[in-house]
Amino acid sequence: MFDVAKRERLEALYVLAITTGLRQGEFLGLKRDVDLDTGTLRVRRTLTTAKGGPQLAAPKTKSSRRTVRLTQSAIKAFRSHLKRQLDEK
């Protein structure tokens, strides 16, 4: 299903976008919120635009603060991404 994105630098982002349904601001607000051991990510902040420019803020509603279960393809893409990052160091 994700053959087109294979080996792309942003493969994990593409897979996550397709499989989770997160909003753009939620993606951009992710910061150490992915737990590959439990296969989840937590939405705790979102990137919003304000008069002073972009800023991280809590989601507007309680239901927007949530835990999302990752698919196996998303976990695999993230693990591959982490390996690639370590190899580049």
CA 49 to chain centre: 19
Q: Which tokens in the block code for residue 7?
A: 């080996």
Residue 72 to residue 64: CA distance in whole angstroms: 23
CA angle 23, 15, 27 (to 5 degrees): 30
Q: What is the pTM of this model?
A: 0.80
23-77 residue pLDDT tens: 999 999 999 999 999 999 999 999 999 888 999 999 989 999 999 999 999 999 8
Question: Residue 12: its pLDDT value, please?
Answer: 86
Going from N- to C-terminal start, the domains of the chain cover 3-88
- Considering only residues 2 and 79, tell me which one the structure prediction assigns the higher pLDDT: 79
- DSSP SS3 for 41: strand
Closest CA to 17 of 75, 66, 74: 74
Residue with tokens 């996550």: 16
